[in-house]
Chains A and B, each alone.
Chain A
Amino acid sequence: MNTEAIIKALNLKVRSAEDNLKKNISGGYTGDLLSDVMANSHEGDIWITRQVHQNIVAVASLKDLAGIILVNSCEPAKDTLEKAAQENIPIMISDLSAFELSAKVYNLLAEKD
């Protein structure tokens, strides 16, 4: 399953890197502490968070994450979007909570396995 399929299934809004949505998603990681995500997420994970700070882009880029989904309808900060465009990291927005969105992505990924 790739990012595009998740966007469609969960009705996410895309805010950056619209041409980089074909990457295969290997798993998911939910967390708001950058050091935790840095240490424990895996390449190809989709990252679910409510952090909007520009440093999320650096973490996603360094860890080769498939993309970032912001929860609770949080909008990324302006410099976050600029960074995301530079690094070609997809940032998406959901109106669901982190719990519910994680659960839904989890189930989507499980279906395809």
Chain B
Amino acid sequence: MEATEDIPYQRSFYVEGGNFSYAGIVSTSIKSILKQMDFPNDIVRKTALVSYESEINIVSYARKGVIKLTVLSDIIQIEAVDEGPGIPNIELAMQEGYSTADNKIREMGFGAGMGLCNIKSYSDHFDLISEVGKGTSLKMVIKIH
């Protein structure tokens, strides 16, 4: 348990695929946790934003997933790991406007092919690993200046 000395805060949240009535609840919690830690508003917003887009992705496409918030002394990290169909062509998925969303997702105001672009442009560091038939894993780092 020595490692916890380097990790002031870590918490994981379960996300259920396909259940839109709770979509966003994890990101709202993450936002209030960071607010309670007194982070500046822009850092809180950025983190909540990348977490929310990832959460919407899990709900929209995966069977289930976990969002893990880690707060270190110089960075905040959000990891979103899901069990789902995976992304066959990452380059294509990263293209703004490209989407495989169905109508239900689109009518909710998502699925316009902007989510991953938003995640990328709001993270200071962003990694995406995906395996078709298994799932997708996103790692986003926000620097604390």
- Which A residues are within 8 Å of any B CB, using their own CB? 32-33, 35, 51-53, 77
Contacts and interface: CB of A to CB of B under 8 A. Distances in A.
A51 B107 contact: no
B112 interface: yes
A53 B96 CA distance: 10
Interface size class on chain B is under 10
Most chain-A CB neighbours within 10 Å: which of B96, B97, B107?
Answer: B97
A33 B106 contact: yes
A35 B107 contact: yes
Interface of B: 96-97, 106-107, 109, 112-113
Secondary structure of the A contact surface, majority rule: loop
B107 A77 contact: no
A30 to B, nearest CB: 15
A50 to B, nearest CB: 8
B97 A77 contact: yes
B107 A52 contact: no
A32 B110 CA distance: 11
A52 B106 contact: no
13 contacts: A32-B109, A32-B112, A33-B106, A33-B107, A33-B109, A35-B107, A51-B112, A52-B96, A52-B97, A53-B97, A53-B112, A53-B113, A77-B97
Contacts of A52: 96-97
A36 B135 CA distance: 33
Nearest to B99: A53
Contacts of B109: 32-33
Contacts of B97: 52-53, 77
A38 B80 CA distance: 36
B102 to A, nearest CB: 13
Given A32-B109, A32-B112, A33-B106, 5 more contacts: A33-B107, A51-B112, A52-B97, A53-B112, A77-B97
